[in-house]
Structure 1
Amino acid sequence: MSYVSILPQGAIIDNLEIKNEAEMPSKTYKIKDNKIVGFCDGKEALEQTIYFILNTERYNYLIYSNSYGSELNIISELDRDIAKSELKRRISEAILQDDRVKDVGNFEFSYSEDSVLVKFTVFSIYGDIEIEKEES
């Protein structure tokens, strides 16, 4: 005796709603002074993620994908005007990899003899986050 499975053919489904993106929880380990001290979520978790993205050099660690981290180490070798433009681009590109981030802007630069302090705003689903990053 053989059994034949018959699948429906030509069915039309109306009003089918497909969600392309599922909102993932952002709960993660909270790291303070190089130690795990519990968990954090929401805006605090995103702030921590931004810190790690900006302080992880892209392509240097096999554990991370090629889209994780930033490329800020070469900036000091560039002319000041070019460096400002590149810092804006590279910081924005690195942080916008996170889908909780909507935009990056309001860049301000302060120069000392051997470094530059970059202040900017990250516009996220949790609200605006003010960030500072010093590069030498």
Structure 2
Amino acid sequence: MIPSTVGFLDQDFDIEEQPSLTYKMDLDGDSIRGFVDEQEAMKQTVFRILNTERYQYIIYPWYYGIETLDLYGEPVTYVVPELERRITEALTIDTRINSVTDFEFDLEVKGVVHATFTVHTIYGEIKAEKGVNI
């Protein structure tokens, strides 16, 4: 029997946002214990997105993570604006993140661009950072 979709799309659907409850990652101890929700869950999300190289792991969809490997060897004048764009693009894929602002770049360590910025989420602001070898 062929499945029928007649009348299926005419129905009214209620779209609900799923809670952000997730497992708590202990980044210092390399373990997972308990649960976190809302802003603490968002901190973990930001950390995971910024520490996952895009297209490198088949477990993640193609839009998850950030591309940084191709920035190696590029001039600082290219890396700084490109890193800002890539961080913003990577994080705003998550519907709970409204915007990414207040970028500051530290070039004191030779061969490293270190960015600090503010992530505006539906649960409040989060300060975050990302360093890239160039």
TM over 0.5, shorter chain: yes
Cα distance per residue 1:71-112 (max 9 Å; x no partner): 012223211111011101110110011110000111100011
Cα distance per residue 1:32-63 (max 9 Å; x no partner): 13211111100000110110100000111111
- 2-structure distance, mates of 1:34, 1:95: 23
1:129 is the counterpart of 2:129: no
| 1:86 partner amino acid | E
Secondary structure of 1:88's counterpart equals helix
| 1:58 partner amino acid | R
- Is the CA contact 2:80–2:113 (under 8 Å) kept in the aligned structure 1? no
Higher radius of gyration, 1 or 2: 1
1:109 is the counterpart of 2:105: yes
- 2-structure distance, mates of 1:18, 1:127: 29
**What corresponds to 1:31 in structure 2?**
25
**What corresponds to 2:16 in structure 1?**
22
CA apart distance, 1:22: 2.0
Which 5+ residue runs of structure 1 have no aligned equivalent? 1-16
Q: Name the % identity.
A: 42
Greater RCO between the two (CA within 8 Å, min separation 6)?
Answer: 2
- 2-structure distance, mates of 1:122, 1:72: 19
Q: What's the TM-score, normalizing by structure 2?
A: 0.83
